[in-house]
Every structure is written in structure tokens, then in C-alpha cells.
Structure 1
Amino acid sequence: MESKVVSVSQSSKHTFSKDRVESVLLVEGLGVDGDAHSGTTVQHVFRKRFHPTEPNLRQVHLIQAELFEELEQDGFEVGPGDLGENITTRGIDLLNLPEGALLRIGPDAVVQVTGLRNPCRQIDRFQTGLLKAVLPLDSNGKVVRKTGVMGIVLTGGRVSADDKIRVELPAGPHRRLKCV
């Protein structure tokens, strides 16, 4: 299966969900042009309160569309942009990429994966019970975070639905993603 962009979303306000748009412009070192989370330093409202000068490792949020299909089987209705992601993908196992993996999106953009997104309680305000569904336990009792990955923009460019995505893994040894 070819890896591609399913949808792109952005919001100029710190809202839980983001609006689907025709395309987004990724800006090197900042994130999605016009998005509330764009910036060189942390833009997440809660984190900004305590660590305003931390580098922004969450410039772009990506989620795999396969998650929505999985959640639908459990009775949830979730679509692109609903969980606050900027880019919805198909055909990439985002959660198992190593730290530092590069996502070459469309003709120009390059996003470096920095870590996992850790969902908060707001997700249950969106749909009751969703937090538990996206944070299940594996067979060893360890939490599995399913709400996508975060990244920084290394090379800017316009990104639209149906753009191809190519993954480049960093030189080994690979480090598993942690929450950022």
C-alpha cells in the first residue's frame, strides 16, 4: 500500500479539533502556517504556562487514518482533524517509527518525528470513553499511546490530501518514541 496524506487540518485557535482544509503550508522551524501550535517555542497551552522557552517539538501532529477505522469498530465516530491533528496519513505505522525518522511529504516538505502524542482528558469531552480506547494496555500491562506522533518541520512546503509520503529511517541504533 502506498503511504499518503488523507487529509490536512489547522486551527488558528487552541481548539481540541482542527478544521479540515484543502492544503496546509508547513514552515521550516515553525510548523503549520496559521495554526495555533506553530512556533519555535512550546505552544501547547498547559506546557507553555510552566516551560515557555522549551523548544517546540510539537509543531506538526500526525495521526494514521487506520486509527479512526479501529475506533469505529468500538462505536466511536472520529474523522480527520477531530483529534487535533494537522495531517492524517494512511499506509504508515506512525506509532512504531523511531525517533528522528523523516517524513518526506509531497514534493517539498520534510517533517522529523520527535515523539508520541500523549492525549489528555479533553478527549473524553469530545466522546465519552475515547481516552481509554486510545490508551489501551498491551499484554504486559504497558500503556499503548495510539493518538499519533508529533514532529518538527525541517523543510517547508505545501501539503494536501493525496500527497505521497516517503519514510526515511535514521541511522541505527533506533530509539523508540516517547511522549513529547
Structure 2
Amino acid sequence: MNAGRVAAVSRNAAYAFSKPNHPSIRLLAGLGVEGDVHAGETIRHQFRMTYEPDLPNLRQVHLMHAELFEELALKGYEVRPGELGENITTRGVDLLALPTGTLLHLGADAVVEVTGLRNPCAKINDFRTGLLGEMFALDPHSDAFTFKSGVMGVVRRAGTVRPDDPIGVEWPPLPHRPLERV
């Protein structure tokens, strides 16, 4: 069941593009990361709150794979954990290949249900010029674009998450639904 490890954990109490790393974060069931601006039962995304304030928050936790940072480094972009706004940076889990509804067991107690792909926004180019274009990949089988900027999830079971914690992957029952933007 253990598929990978937590590389870093991040949170920010204020709206900002990047999130500073911390020794640990606490996940709260049905809310998100304690002390993070995006925690809440309803949408906390700054732009979407203006027109969909009462919809459920399917973006309580943002997870991103550290392998993306290595790929970006080969193209001349230096990106460190938390700098693209993720709460949990992973290593050894192919987040983008997971189906909707996958449960990620983080550390001893926490469980996050994957709800969909993070939709990359123009602020990525404000962080590093040209980086937004690297957040998309063309699927050779369908000619459709996929997003590489991580996955979003909701907290199903509370717990503390720290760097080097194990990550277990529990696939949902068949039929699997592919990840879509949330």
C-alpha cells in the first residue's frame, strides 16, 4: 500500500501564491489544512468565491509531485516545495495518474480523497515567466491537454503530516473516473 513519501508540507494563513514550508501540518476532516487560507467547507479560492461562494470546497488540500520540480529544472526553472502553492509535496506517487476518489493515507492517521486536477492559473507566469506553458502536457492518445500542476483533495480523516511520512494509495472501486479540473 505504501507508494511514496511526503517530501515537504506547507501552509499560508494569507492569500499569496507561494506557501512557506513547515515541520508539520495538521489536516482537519472536512476543512483542509489548519491555519491555511484555503481551509473551509465551502470554496476558498479567492477568484471563485466571488461567483460560487456556497459550493463545496473540493480544493481543501493541494498536492504536487516533487518529480515535476526536477523536470522543470531541466528546462531552466528553479522551483522548490511550496512555491507553486501546494500544501503537500510528494515523492514516488504518480498523482496525475490517480483516478477521482483515490484515498491517500498520509502519515499515521490523515486521509485525503483526491477530487481532481489543479487548474493552472496565470499567476504561475508571475512567479516565473514562461512557467505556465510547462504546466500542460498533450495526451498523444486523445490530443487533449492535461494539467501537470498537481491534484486537489478533501480531508476525510484528520491527522498530522510531516516530511518523510509514508503515503499509501487506496484506489476507488471500479469503474475508475479520470481526474478533471476542480
Q: Is the TM value for this pair above 0.5?
A: yes
1:143 Cα shift?
1.1
* Partner in structure 1 of residue 122 of structure 2: 121
* Partner in structure 2 of residue 31 of structure 1: 32
Alignment of 1:118-157 (within 5 A): 118-139=119-140, 140-157=142-159
Matched, 1:164 2:146: no
Tell me, what secondary structure is at the counterpart of 2:146? Answer: coil
Q: State how far apart, in whole Å, the 2-side matches of 1:142 and 1:171 are.
A: 26
Matched, 1:99 2:107: no
Q: State how far apart, in whole Å, the 2-side matches of 1:154 and 1:138 are.
A: 31
* Partner in structure 1 of residue 10 of structure 2: 9
Q: Which moved more, 1:127-136 or 1:17-26?
A: 127-136
1:68 Cα shift?
0.2
1:136 Cα shift?
2.9
Tell me, what secondary structure is at the counterpart of 1:58? Answer: coil
Q: After the TM superposition, which segments of 4 or more aligned residues of structure 1 sit over 4 Å from their partners? A: none
1:2 Cα shift?
4.9
Tell me, what secondary structure is at the counterpart of 1:25? Answer: strand
* Partner in structure 1 of residue 20 of structure 2: 19
Q: State how far apart, in whole Å, the 2-side matches of 1:38 and 1:109 are.
A: 15
1:178 pairs, out of 163, 177, 180, with: 180
The answer as to whether partners of 2:9 and 2:163 remain within 8 angstroms in 1 is yes
TM-score scaled by structure 2?
A: 0.97
Q: State how far apart, in whole Å, the 2-side matches of 1:108 and 1:141 are.
A: 39
TM-score scaled by structure 1?
A: 0.98
1:18 Cα shift?
0.2
